[in-house]
Amino acid sequence: MTVGIVGAGQLGRMMALAGYPLGLDFLFLDKDAKTPGGQVAPLLAGELTDRKLLGELASRCDVLTFDWENIPVEALEGLPGKARIAPPLRALAAAQDRLAEKRTFELLGIPTTRYASVNSRADLDAAIERIGLPGVLKTRRLGYDGKGQAVLRKPADVAAAWETLGKQPLLYENLVPFQAEVSVIGVRGRDGKVEFYPLNLNVHRAGILRLTRAPYGNSALTRTAQRAARRVMEHFDYVGVLTIEFFVTRGRLIANEMAPRVHNSGHWTIEGAETSQFENHVRAIAGLPLGSTRARGHSAMINLVGELPDRELLLAERGLHWHDYGKTPRPDRKLGHITLNESSARERDKAVIRVLRRVDRATWIAIR
Amino acid sequence: MTVGIVGAGQLGRMMALAGYPLGLDFLFLDKDAKTPGGQVAPLLAGELTDRKLLGELASRCDVLTFDWENIPVEALEGLPGKARIAPPLRALAAAQDRLAEKRTFELLGIPTTRYASVNSRADLDAAIERIGLPGVLKTRRLGYDGKGQAVLRKPADVAAAWETLGKQPLLYENLVPFQAEVSVIGVRGRDGKVEFYPLNLNVHRAGILRLTRAPYGNSALTRTAQRAARRVMEHFDYVGVLTIEFFVTRGRLIANEMAPRVHNSGHWTIEGAETSQFENHVRAIAGLPLGSTRARGHSAMINLVGELPDRELLLAERGLHWHDYGKTPRPDRKLGHITLNESSARERDKAVIRVLRRVDRATWIAIR
């Protein structure tokens, strides 16, 4: 069985590395073979929206998936061949438009931020009037790692934010004063069976995820997050891995956004869970039984952003695992990650402090 | 850094899959891209002894290793370029000749079988006279999975064995009445640091490894095995993973053979140890610090020989991991393996019985 993956970033690369032992073959579509995925599997070179290449990919594969949620849904619709697409395009469509995403959460009774669709300056003023300040103005589409967002704290911030973002459909929402950011990762098989990983506690800095620790949280919080993810997966008759990110505020979960794919906050599962999110995504879309999502000990994932630290120095740390995505360094680019795995949360947190101090001082200062 | 691997079987494939996250590139030499390794990394197609291709491999890589110990040492000597070869060729030479292997064990004070070199029928008669029956007549070179061996139980067996094997250098040794077969896997870094995995308990049938369970044995047995492996590694100024197989007889270890490479009895380390034998081999030869060899829970590895059982059925077993090498089925060919991982030896053994019954009834009957 051949799995086609639209987008050959690090997520696709880790899917392929997890899927080879299952006896699956992989074929990527992305701009060139130097991409992280193109280094470990064959690749069709071209634009992710190239209908001819997408058609070829669909014809040569048994199932298609994607490692980036911003591929226009139209490009993936009505492809030739027998390949199924998973996760389903309806979920992809909802996840790539912040307005559709919020409406999905509302429809399914999942608490989320107060929000308003903004298509004009008048809309924005009305939204601020109704929802208040502080708030966040976001592009409805193509936002990731904090891009396409502006925080509005006072009336004087409005004009500049409108100037920068105002030429496209927007969403305004209240700024949630959160105590923590968490995410839940679930996976649903073709047979409708669902499994969940334990909650992830996430730390962002400048819009980019820096640190995840898992398992996190009490059982009530975990149950609430899993119930939300289950509703979303059942609503879309979902197949594959789904992630929802939440703010924790006064012990309650407020859904922030969802991703119809494996997620950066789940990278620790490669070493830290019985079956990784990548293997389970591939198992699900290939129609295989899901693997156990049980955590093994206590894990942390530290993103390596912008430049890679000294590999040799860090690999000398016991229980440290290194993941280099094979990318060219560039400011704010996710180049790899480190996983730490310990038998207790206390030991894990000590290792996190030790390693963060070396690889990400700003986050080290923020959390210590 | 690019790692060249001579031989693109399943061992090379699992090295590449373990090495990609470390940021390493791989290049194989083997007969074609359909080999297990050729499916996951680029490959030079040709004979393993082709000096021109070996030269190209050496020029394009920073370090060379092999996934098969029967590559003639002469083919690997004096290659152009700057690539180091690891493990060292002296260890390869000793491991691929049963006589040199026995002499190495003797030299290092590692108990082994009584043996004699056999180059003529008169040598064989003298060897039997001195060592006695029952014994095993083996080719000195190119034996694996029980090939090139004959058990001699009574004088009448001698003529037939000589007829079959007598045209090449041979070794005769006493047949050890063993209670168990075990193996130790060690790894030595370029800096001379050494790590060991816990002992493996191995079950062979018809000369082929069928089942490994680990960790096995008491601490005295483990210490003795590790001391032997350490001596061999230090003797050869070894770099990489080394395996020694032993018979356990009346609580003592008798060295049977060594392999200068990752070993089938260590496949459980992918899921069952903090760092797999494949990652540690690659770390060692790339000059990186070794990873922790600590076992996680209790593991078993079941070889899938000759044909693959129903993947979907087996993946429904909790804690079962599937490894398909991408090979064409053929009788007695190792096509893949299954790893089972449980929190206790008792639970692990129950899972072994359940799974063996489905995939290898003959071994199931032998061990239950």
Contact across the interface for B289 and A20, Cβ inside 8 Å: no
Q: State whether residue B258 is helix, strand or coil.
A: strand
What CA dihedral angle connects A287, A288, A294 and A296, to 10 degrees? -120
Are B26 and B38 in contact by the 8 Å Cβ rule? The answer is no
The H-or-E segment that residue A173 falls in is: strand A170-174
Using CA coordinates, name the residue in chain B closest to A283. Answer: B315
Beta bridge partners of A64: A4, A85
Ranges in chain B, pLDDT < 70? 144-146
Q: Which of B200, B184, B216 is nearest to B301 (CA)?
A: B200
Check CB contact of B312 with chain A, cutoff 8 Å. yes
Q: What is the pLDDT of residue B146?
A: 67
pLDDT band at A68 (very low <50, low <70, confident <90, very high): very high
Q: Residue A134's CB: how many other CB atoms inside 10 A?
A: 15
**In this complex, which of B17, B41, B283 lies closest to A315 when CB atoms are compared?**
B283
Q: How far apart are CA A34 and CA A32, in angstroms?
A: 5
CA distances from A279 to A19, A126, A185, B22, B298 (A): 6, 46, 13, 19, 21
The confidence score (pLDDT) of residue B160 equals 93
Q: Name the residue with tokens 């950066």.
A: A264
Q: Which residues in chain A (237-276) have CB-CB distances under 8 A to chain B?
A: 274-275
Asked if B324 and A22 come within 8 Å (Cβ–Cβ), the reply is yes
CA dist B302 and B348 (Å) reads: 12
By the CB < 8 Å criterion, does B350 face chain A?
A: no
Q: Using a CB-CB distance cutoff of 8 angstroms, which residues of chain B are in contact with residue A292?
A: 318-319
**pLDDT per residue as tens digits for the range A10-53:** 999 999 999 999 999 999 999 999 999 999 999 999 999 999 99
ipTM: 0.95
Q: Touching check for A18 and chain B: CB below 8 Å?
A: no
- Say how far apart CA B295 and CA B195 lie, in whole Å: 12
Contact of A31 with A46, CB cutoff 8 Å: yes
Percent of chain A with pLDDT over 70: 99
The answer to whether B337 contacts chain A (CB < 8 Å) is no
Secondary structure (3-state) at B93: helix
Range A306-314 contact pairs with CB under 8 angstroms and sequence separation of 24 or more:
A306/A330, A306/A331, A306/A332, A306/A333, A306/A335, A307/A335, A308/A335, A308/A336, A308/B23, A309/A358, A309/A359, A311/B22, A311/B23, A311/B288, A312/B287, A312/B288, A312/B289, A313/A358, A314/A338, A314/A355, A314/A358, A314/A359
Distance from CA of A352 to the nearest CA of B (A): 17
Q: Does A111 touch chain B (CB under 8 A)?
A: no
Q: What angle do CA B8, B10, B14 make, to 5 degrees?
A: 100
Query: Please, are residues B152 and B133 in contact by the beta-carbon 8 Å criterion?
Result: yes
Is residue A184 within 8 Å of A196, Cβ to Cβ?
Answer: yes
- Lookup result for tokens 């018809």: B206
Q: What pLDDT, on the 0 to 100 scale, is given for residue B144?
A: 67
Chain A touched by B348 (CB under 8 Å) = no
Structural tokens at position A286: 């290939």
Quote the CA–CA distance of B119 and A303 in Å, as a whole number. Answer: 61
Query: 3-state SS string over B96-133?
Result: CCHHHHHHHHHHCCCCECCEEEECCHHHHHHHHHHHCC
How close B176 comes to chain A (CA, Å)?
Answer: 37
**Structure tokens belonging to residue A184:** 């839940």
Report chain B's C-alpha Rg in angstroms.
Answer: 20
* Confidence at residue A295, expressed as pLDDT on a 0 to 100 scale: 97
Residue-wise pLDDT for A245-277, tens only, equals 999 999 999 999 999 999 999 999 999 999 999
Any B CB within 8 A of A321 CB? yes
pLDDT in tens, A140-178: 998 766 678 999 999 999 999 999 998 899 999 999 999
Q: Which amino acid is at A296?
A: R
CB of A292 within 8 Å of a chain B CB? The answer is: yes
Name every chain B residue with its beta carbon within 8 A of the beta carbon of A41: 40
Average pLDDT, stretch A55-73?
95
- b/e map of B104-133 (b: 16 or more CB within 10 Å)? bbeebebebbebbebeeeeebeebbeebee
Give how far the C-alpha of residue A61 lies from the chain's centroid of Cα atoms, to the nearest Å: 24
pLDDT tens per residue, range A208-236: 999 999 999 889 999 999 999 999 999 99
Helix (H, G, I), strand (E, B) or coil at A359: helix
Nearest to A349 by CA among A309, A306, A299, A313: A299
Q: Chain A within 8 Å of B177 (Cβ-Cβ)?
A: no
Confidence category of residue A81, pLDDT binned at 50, 70, 90: confident
Which member of B22, B288, B316 has the closest CB to residue A289? B316
Token pair, residue B360, equals 């290898």
The enclosing H or E element of B242 equals strand B240-249
Please tell me if residue B292 touches chain A, with a CB cutoff of 8 Å. yes
Q: Which residues contact A143 (CB under 8 A, 6 or more apart)?
A: A98, A149
CB distance B23–A336 less than 8 Å? yes
**Phi, psi of B195, deg, nearest 5:** -130, 150
> Helix (H, G, I), strand (E, B), or coil: what is residue B59?
helix
Which residues does chain A have within 8 Å of residue B336's beta carbon, measured at their own beta carbons? 23
B344 DSSP assignment: S
Cα A118 to Cα A278, B25, B45, B345, distances in angstroms:
36, 48, 59, 61
Q: Is the Cβ–Cβ distance between B13 and B42 less than 8 Å? A: no
For residue A180, pLDDT over 70 is answered with yes
Q: Compute the nearest-CA separation of B130 from chain A (Å).
A: 49
DSSP A112: B
Confirm or reject contact between B322 and chain A (CB < 8 A).
yes
CA distance A48 to chain B (A): 23
Domains and CATH numbers, chain B: 2-85 (3.40.50.20), 114-174 (3.30.1490.20), 180-367 (3.30.470.20)
The answer for A251, left when phi > 0, alpha when psi is -120 to 50, beta otherwise, is left
For the CA atoms of A267, A273, A279, A283, the dihedral, rounded to the nearest 10 degrees, stands at -140
Whether the CB of A128 is below 8 Å from some CB of chain B: the reply is no
Distance of CA B14 to the CA centre of its chain: 14
Which pLDDT score is estimated for B368? 85
Which of B40, B291, B311 faces A20 most closely, judged by CB atoms?
B40
Q: Tokens 């007829």 map to which residue?
A: B163
Q: CA distances (Å), A32 to each of A37, A49, A50, A324, in order?
A: 10, 14, 14, 18
Question: Taking CB atoms and an 8 Å limit, are B21 and A321 in contact across chains?
Answer: yes
